[in-house]
Amino acid sequence: MQQTLIDWFDQNKRDLPWRNTTPWGVMVSEFMLQQTPVKRVLPVWEQWLTQWPTPADLAAAKRSDVITAWGRLGYPRRAIRLHECAKVISEQFNNEIPRTLEELRGLPGIGEYTSAAICAFAFNQPTLVLDVNIRRLFARYYDGVETSSTSPSQYERKIRYELIPDQGAQWAAATMEFGALICTARNPACDSCPIAQSCAWRDAGYPASEIVKKSQAWAGTDRQCRGVVVQALREKKTLTRSKLLVLWHNDEQLDKALKTLLADGLIETTGKSYKLAD
Ligand code: SF4
């Protein structure tokens, strides 16, 4: 199974720019891809690396410019964490991306998945990378179930770790790409799957999973309200609450969005008006 998927990857992988870039480029891509699809990330990633080709370049930028450059990728707290991360790397790591899981985990905004992915994709290390695509593929192929649990257990980590072959970094990239392109959440391409003959889920007749994942509603949510405020401040620079209320009529929800955006350090206020944080 391992060699088949690595061979499949060699022949079918998408030509994504972060497959052939600096460790900093990998780190930026991992922050951006956490909750945003590849297609939307591509132009922003290109622009970002042109504007800030090293951590020190980003570290020297104004926070408001960083939030503006994040564009419509969503969850802009990631931009602030990446900015903070760049400051630590430029000040404490001589502008070099750390190479160990422990050092990476000590940086702002970097958790278990991101540290493992950076070690694998930037430094070719055989770390255990478990993203949603990889976990779904393994759940189907090995366990015979449609979807994985909400988050990996210690047992899951242990048995997936034992699967890592010598080409560990390639294994992570291959399984991730296979889950994204072939063993997809809906309508997996089982007819063109090179490991279909030994897939436990297929063998069991594709039983439906009992795990119902929460759908991410968007319209009318607090998250949409936050997005409207940040986008308006990107365009207009400064706005009063009453101007923002024209864009979002629910004043209770608007006040909540302003409060959380202030707490997250994404915006600032003079008391009368609001702007992106500098
Ligand atoms: S046969 Fe279908 S479900 Fe099984 S691993 Fe291949 S694509 Fe996924």
Q: Are both 53 and 118 inside the same structural domain? A: yes
Q: Which ligand 1 atom minimizes the distance to the CA of 141?
A: 5
pLDDT at position 209: 78
The protein residue with its alpha carbon nearest to ligand 1, atom 5, reads 141
Tokens of 96: 């070099």
- The domain boundary, picked from 96, 123, 150, lies at 123
The protein residue with its alpha carbon nearest to ligand 1, atom 2, reads 190
Q: Are both 48 and 82 inside the same structural domain? A: yes
- Average pLDDT on 45-70 reads 96
Ligand 1, residues at Cβ distance < 6 Å: 140-141, 182-183, 188-190, 193, 195-196, 199, 201-202
3 falls within a domain:
no
pLDDT over threshold 60, residue 225 = yes
Neighbouring C-alpha atoms within 13 Å toward the C-beta of 55: 23
Q: Are both 119 and 71 inside the same structural domain? A: yes
141 falls within a domain:
yes
pLDDT at position 42: 96
Q: Are 134 and 176 in contact (CB under 8 A)?
A: yes
212 falls within a domain:
no
pLDDT at position 216: 60
167 falls within a domain:
yes
pLDDT band at 211 (very low <50, low <70, confident <90, very high): low
Tokens of 85: 């991360």
- The domain boundary, picked from 69, 97, 123, lies at 123
CATH at 268: 1.10.10.10
Q: How far is the CA of 162 from the centre of ligand 1 (A)?
A: 21
- Average pLDDT on 43-61 reads 97
Average pLDDT taken over every residue of the chain = 91
What does the pLDDT look like over 116-145, one tens digit per residue? 999 999 999 999 999 999 999 999 999 999
pLDDT at position 14: 95
Q: Are both 95 and 140 inside the same structural domain? A: no
8 falls within a domain:
no
CA distance to 136, 142, 215, 264, per residue, from 176 (Å): 10, 16, 22, 31
Q: Which ligand 1 atom minimizes the distance to the CA of 194?
A: 6
Distance CA 52, CA 9 (A): 30
Q: Are both 113 and 61 inside the same structural domain? A: yes
pLDDT band at 219 (very low <50, low <70, confident <90, very high): confident
DSSP letter at 106? T
What does the pLDDT look like over 60-77, one tens digit per residue? 999 999 999 998 898 889
Q: Are both 142 and 119 inside the same structural domain? A: no
> What total of structural domains would you count in the chain?
3
Distance CA 14, CA 96 (A): 27
CATH at 113: 1.10.340.30
pLDDT over threshold 80, residue 214 = no
What does the pLDDT look like over 18-33, one tens digit per residue? 999 999 999 999 999 9
267 falls within a domain:
yes
CA dihedral (243, 249, 251, 254) positive or negative: negative
Q: How far is the CA of 33 from the centre of ligand 1 (A)?
A: 24
pLDDT at position 215: 56
* Residues of the chain by 3-state class (helix, strand, coil), percent to 5: 60, 5, 40
Q: Are both 91 and 169 inside the same structural domain? A: no
235 falls within a domain:
yes
> Annotated active-site positions, please?
30
Residue range(s) defining the domain that contains residue 150: 132-203
Distance CA 91, CA 86 (A): 8
CATH at 145: 1.10.1670.10
Q: Are both 166 and 146 inside the same structural domain? A: yes
Question: Global pTM?
Answer: 0.84
The protein residue with its alpha carbon nearest to ligand 1, atom 1, reads 196
Q: Are both 31 and 117 inside the same structural domain? A: yes
- The domain boundary, picked from 123, 154, 178, lies at 123
210 falls within a domain:
no
What does the pLDDT look like over 88-106, one tens digit per residue? 999 999 999 999 999 999 9
Q: Are 78 and 109 in contact (CB under 8 A)?
A: yes
Q: Are both 229 and 180 inside the same structural domain? A: no
Name the residue of 4, 192, 195, 197 to mutate for ligand 1: max ligand atoms within 8 A of Cβ.
195
